[in-house]
A and B are shown apart, each in its own frame.
Chain A
């Protein structure tokens, strides 16, 4: 009797506590997450130009998006850059995290230094990279010529493929420290004695890595790599300051296309269309993430 009563009051208390604890988050999500999406969704069905009253145009904007070859080109660019960047960032970040997780001397120093780039502003450091990779008098070219590795300066930012490579390098430079940190925190969870028993069993570094570290990182690995992909898909500052979409439209990414239609285009602003493009972009990014999560479900060793 008593036990049941205790449980009941405990339960209702539990519900209250639960709801109270999540109230701030829910409130903020509704106001700053749901509302903006509805707002953008609304305008995507209009021909809003930013100032006059909008007229409804139904699905016209969406049909236009589907047929807009320039848009799909940016989607392709975004994915190309995003996939390559993630493939580089995640493994290297993990390896670095393992290396600095404490056994070596000065690991604290390495941790701090490797993290430095990610606290700089991408907009400004992008410019620095622009100057480093410039065709005329750029640092990289000058060094390569001085070391007799190349004869003529390479046009790093003048060729579509090379420009994407420079962007990938810049993003890796900037973000690997960030992901390393996330992995570090995740690594803390793995109990030390697991490693010790592995060593006693004679496992070498590679086996330890593949059979113990990766699986036990489990959900965190999944989340971190998804973050890496989603971050890459939402690129803006870096590309804008490094290449501004150039040469031509070869490195224009999705966000830049949207930004262009909202703020930069000549003529009357086409915010209705830009809103529709934003919705499509969000769906694409969301779709990718969902596919990724389903794909990597088997990583959840905790469950």
Chain B
């Protein structure tokens, strides 16, 4: 009894120790950025070991809020992100499940195309996507941005969900079939709840990608700057042509932009079920 207890606490201590070190390393640059967001530009550029400013300048946040039109842009971001997340989860879950379970003509082609799409480099495809969106009338609208965003996640997330579904025994499906449910009903009522963790993951990852996406929303709002999401606003604070970049204001903007996604994460966190005992079906 004693032996196992000791062994247990040693590995526990080790765990805690490593986690604390990891946390410190993770958090430090963020603290530095946090401190920088309250500094004046000159003080920030000076560098040195002063993490926190000698004088806490709130004006950076005020400037970021007004110049980057934060209120309006935050709302745009919320719309853009919520829609993208919802549609991405919906479409990739459906396709992922189908690819895992069904056989049909063109399945290999679809899988191959998706695999291929993962390798596409964003900077390069922006032009053709832009041209296409123009002819489809998708430009200068939030829906256009959303569709482009959802499309960009199809390949990666479908494959992730497909992989996850592969890990769920087909017997479950068959059991449901015997009860007379259709393919879609099996998906909707039985599989979906089972793959909650990965759905939440996909949701969070889409949230992250969408929230931080810059080039796509910029391209889709050329004529209507009032539709821009937050990241575009923050990054645009950078570089005043021949002048100097307002790094401190940009950092203030970045810190502010972190808040909504933190909230989303905390909210979705409970779907990453705590115990290892949850999850797969027993027996």
Query: Which residues on the B side are within 8 Å of A195 (C-beta)?
Result: 276
Beta-carbon contacts under 8 Å, A1-31 to B:
10, 13-15, 17-19, 21-22, 24-26, 28-29, 31
Q: Is B113 touching A34 in the complex (CB atoms < 8 A)?
A: yes
A15 to chain B, nearest CB (A): 7
Query: Which residues on the A side are within 8 Å of B166 (C-beta)?
Result: 219, 302-303
- Judged by a CB distance under 8 angstroms, whether B46 is at the interface is yes
User: Which B-chain residue is minimally distant from A101 (CB atoms)?
Assistant: B276
- Judged by a CB distance under 8 angstroms, whether B26 is at the interface is yes
Chain A binding surface SS class: helix
Q: Is A99 touching B121 in the complex (CB atoms < 8 A)?
A: no
* Among listed A83-91, A126-134, A154-162, A243-251, interface-contacting one: A126-134
Interface size on A, residues (CB 8 A): 102
Contact partner of A128 among B26, B36, B91, B280, CB < 8 A? B36
Query: Given the complex of chains A and B, what is the CA–CA distance between A150 and B43 in angstroms?
Result: 25
Contact partner of A223 among B27, B160, B205, CB < 8 A? B160
Query: Which residues on the A side are within 8 Å of B45 (C-beta)?
Result: 131
Total number of residue pairs linking A and B with CB closer than 8 Å: 283
Q: A107-B274, A116-B26 are in contact. Are A32 and B164 (CB under 8 A)?
A: no
- Judged by a CB distance under 8 angstroms, whether B16 is at the interface is yes
- Judged by a CB distance under 8 angstroms, whether B204 is at the interface is yes
Interface size on B, residues (CB 8 A): 105
Contact partner of B121 among A128, A142, A278, CB < 8 A? A278
Query: Which residues on the A side are within 8 Å of B91 (C-beta)?
Result: 24-25, 28
Query: Given the complex of chains A and B, what is the CA–CA distance between A31 and B125 in angstroms?
Result: 11
Contact partner of B151 among A28, A134, A227, CB < 8 A? A28
Query: Which residues on the B side are within 8 Å of A166 (C-beta)?
Result: none
Query: Given the complex of chains A and B, what is the CA–CA distance between A227 and B157 in angstroms?
Result: 11
Which of B113, B187, B257, B258 counts the most chain A CB atoms within 10 A?
B113
Contact partner of B19 among A29, A96, A191, CB < 8 A? A96
Q: Is A18 touching B276 in the complex (CB atoms < 8 A)?
A: no
Query: Given the complex of chains A and B, what is the CA–CA distance between A223 and B234 in angstroms?
Result: 33
Q: Is B47 touching A137 in the complex (CB atoms < 8 A)?
A: yes
Q: Is A25 touching B94 in the complex (CB atoms < 8 A)?
A: yes
19 contacts between A and B (CB under 8 A): A15-B104, A18-B183, A24-B94, A32-B125, A32-B129, A33-B154, A36-B129, A40-B124, A104-B15, A123-B214, A128-B29, A128-B36, A139-B32, A184-B197, A188-B278, A189-B164, A190-B276, A236-B122, A255-B123
